Structure 1
Amino acid sequence: MAITSPGVAHSAPNGRTSVDARRRRPDDTKLALLFILPAVIGLVVFYFWPLARGIWLSFTSWDLLSPSQLIGFANYQRMFADPVFWNAVQVTLWYVVLNIGIQTIVALVIAVLMQRLTQSTFVRSLILAPFLVSNVVAALVFFWILDFQLGIGNQMLEWIGLDRIGFFTSEEWAIPTIALVNVWRHMGYTALLIFAGLQAIPANLYEAARVDGASETRMFTGITLPLLRPILGLVLIISVIGSFQVFDTVSVTTGGGPVNASRVLQVYIYENAFAQFDFGYASALSVAMLAILVVVTFFQYRITRAGQTDLN
């Protein structure tokens, strides 16, 4: 009598597999494609098609009322010779540096304090509360608080013996003030992202460091920051992309002024598209901002090594 091993398929005399052969798993590829089809359609309709359309319009002259005319690289030549565009790039970069630098540091401190002092859900909700306020509402509230004549912020400066400051009306203070308004709104959300990264760090690493006599500062620089690097890289990439797209806070407070002190790229694109109806040039400006974001994101990803982790 032939002895057969369990779980091994043997061929019958007619060449077919035996009855006790393991059945094949059903192919769910078609079902999976069916489930992701709505997302793919939305991605194509609302992202890829507008992107392709915008790139095409950047090579045309179009005022929305007449047919578009192909003009080649004329919009890009105009852009490189446009001093307002280069000023908008500088203003945007200055805003990004202020917003990301302050926001990341403050959010990291808040996240570490939450991990060390309390992990209460109520505290997390309080920290996240500013993020639930819309950008326009937050900007208007701070616009009233910091008003040069009637704002309580300037009144408090007078009470302590300082001069009033034109937070939204002076060239020196416009962008820093807008950056701080958005830091207030987004730091809670950023802190929760970093807090989630802190939760993934094994507690036994800190216990072993304490046994070895490591101080809190040493544990923070030697354990927390290195193991938090992928999350910090992700947070920086998301925050930089969002900061480059700042528009509503500037629009409802300064409108790009005084002069061009707060005219960021998004505001300049909007003005060309919907105030001057120069959609071809506005599309070229949008493509330029896309190129800047691609380059910045690529270098951020490579420098922070956001796709790698030291946790094994």
Structure 2
Amino acid sequence: MGANTTVAPPDKGTDSGRVDASPTAEPRRRRDDRRAAWLFLTPALLGFALFYAYPTVRGVYYSLTDYSLLAPPTFTGAANYRHLISDDQFWNALKVTGYYVALNIGSQTLLSLFLASLMHRLTRSVALRALLLVPWLVPNVTVGLLWMWMLDANLGFVNHILNALGLGTTGFFTSPTWAMPTVAAVNTWAYTGYTALLLYAGMLQVPQHLYESASLDGAGEWRMFTRITLPLLRPVLALVLVVSLIGSFQIFDTIAVTTKGGPVSVTRVIYYYIYEQAFTNFHMGYASAVAVVLAVVLGVLTAVQMRLLRASRSDLA
């Protein structure tokens, strides 16, 4: 640059580096997505109100009437609930359901834990997981018919094998001793694979370095399962047990296809008893009262189960 060169002073009006700090500038507004959220939630809320909330309120109302499908309902107050307390068939159905729930949840949970542990520690084959899911995809009515034919005392494949082995034949669905354990075994076969996949997904969340550290300390598979896997699997296990409990209390289709509540009412579970009262005896009001009591019982059992298992807390946190 030459000595005679002069530099013009900067124009204060055209200073591009200056930030406009005018107090009249409005701050940028945060985008409000609540309207869009309600728009997407509206179909689900309408479906819930139409198919869940409204039938629930109507069922509670019918439980206070003598509705019989043949005449308009007449309000009777708590008469159905007073009759329910002294109904031996209701208490027997509740006892039978409890027996089924104990058999089904116990066997299903143990087998699911065993299969999930094998997949987690030995193999992670996608083909194996797909095969485990196949029984769950088959409709319950089809499952019931399939096993009823296979376990038939005269033509069943299983009884042919037992007879060939010299063990004789057994009426699995017609014996008062074997009917309920057989129904529980059929549903265990149908749902164990799905439950095992849920538990397997939970096991994948356990950090692998915990198993590596325990292995270096000399811990065996059983010790790692009881000290690492089970404690860290508690939230998923609680979910599985709650879902299994509710599903077990709702057992109906397998009973309706195979035993129809027999023999001598040993498989007349609470859902089948509600069905008989409503659509066989046309005691719709009394059936609604039994359904309301069942919903309350399930709510209490679920709350107790969630509290005992501390389902909201995880040791991984």
TM over 0.5: yes
* Residue identity opposite 1:155 in structure 2: H
- 2:165 is the alignment partner of 1:160: yes
Distance in 2 separating the partners of 1:172 and 1:295: 30
Aligned twin of 1:117: 122
How many percent identity over aligned positions? Answer: 51
In the alignment, residue 92 of structure 1 is paired with which amino acid?
Answer: T
Q: 1:10, CA displacement in angstroms?
A: 6.7
> 1: distance between equivalents of 2:57 and 2:281?
22
Partner of 1:133: 138
User: Cα distance, 1:69 vs. partner?
Assistant: 0.3
Name 1:276's counterpart in structure 2.
281
Question: Distance between the aligned counterparts of 1:64 and 1:226, measured in 2?
Answer: 51
- State the match for 2:11 in structure 1: none
- After TM superposition, the score normalised by the length of structure 2 is 0.92
Distance 2:272 2:260 in 1: 8
Matched position secondary structure for 2:30: coil
| Residues 1:30 and 2:32 are matched in the alignment | no
Question: Which residue identity is paired with 1:195?
Answer: Y
Structure 1 residue 230 displacement after superposition: 0.5
Mapped partners of 1:258, 1:58: distance in 2: 29
1:143 aligns to 2:148 (yes or no): yes
| Aligned: 1:242 with 2:254 | no
Specify whether residues 10 and 62 from structure 1 end up closer, same or farther in structure 2 by C-alpha distance, changes over 3 A only: farther
Q: Distance in 2 between matches of 1:212 and 1:10?
A: 65
* Residue 50 of structure 1, aligned match among 34, 49, 55: 55
Describe how 1:167-246 pairs up with structure 2 within 5 A.
167-246=172-251
Residues in 2 aligned to 1:170 and 1:87: alpha-carbon distance in whole angstroms: 18
From the superposition, tell whether residues 203 and 71 of structure 1 become closer, same or farther in structure 2 (CA, over 3 Å).
same
In 1, distance between residues paired with 2:22 and 2:246?
Answer: 60
1:90 to 84, 95, 98: 95
Q: For each residue in 1:257-280, what CA deviation from the matched residue of structure 2 results, as whole angstroms up to 9, or x when unmatched?
A: 011110000101001111111100
Q: 1:77: which partner in 2?
A: 82
Residues of 2 paired with 1:304 and 1:298: CA distance?
10
Unmatched segments (≥5 aa) in structure 1: 1-8
Q: Distance in 1 between matches of 2:223 and 2:21?
A: 63
CA distance in 2, matches of 1:135, 1:95: 16
The code of the aligned residue for 1:70 comes to F
Match of 1:167, SS?
coil
CA–CA separation in structure 2 for the residues paired with 1:91 and 1:116: 38
Aligned CA RMSD, in angstroms, stands at 1.6
* Distance 1:259-1:25 versus aligned 2 partners, 3 A rule: same
The answer to which of 252-261 and 209-218 deviates more is: 209-218
Give the distance between the partners of 2:157 and 2:31, measured in 1 at CA.
68
- 1:163 is displaced (CA, Å) by 3.0
Equivalent residue letter for 2:248: S
Partner Cα separation in structure 2 for residue 271 and residue 123 of structure 1: 41
Distance in 1, matches of 2:54 and 2:105, equals 31
Give 2:177's aligned amino acid: E
How far apart are the structure 1 equivalents of 2:52 and 2:129?
33
Query: Equivalent residue for 2:13?
Result: none
In the alignment, which of 256, 264, 276 is matched to residue 259 of structure 1?
A: 264
**Residue type matched to 1:114 in 2?**
M
Say whether residues 1:286 and 2:291 are aligned partners: yes
Letter in 1 for 2:309: T
Q: Distance in 1 between matches of 2:257 and 2:223?
A: 45
Q: Which has the larger radius of gyration?
A: 2
Call closer, same or farther: CA 1:10–1:111 in 2, change over 3 Å: farther
CA drift of 1:11 comes to 6.9
Write out per-residue CA displacement over residues 2-61 of structure 1, whole angstroms, 9 at most, x where no aligned residue: xxxxxxx9771xxx4x36x4x121111111011101101111111111111111100100
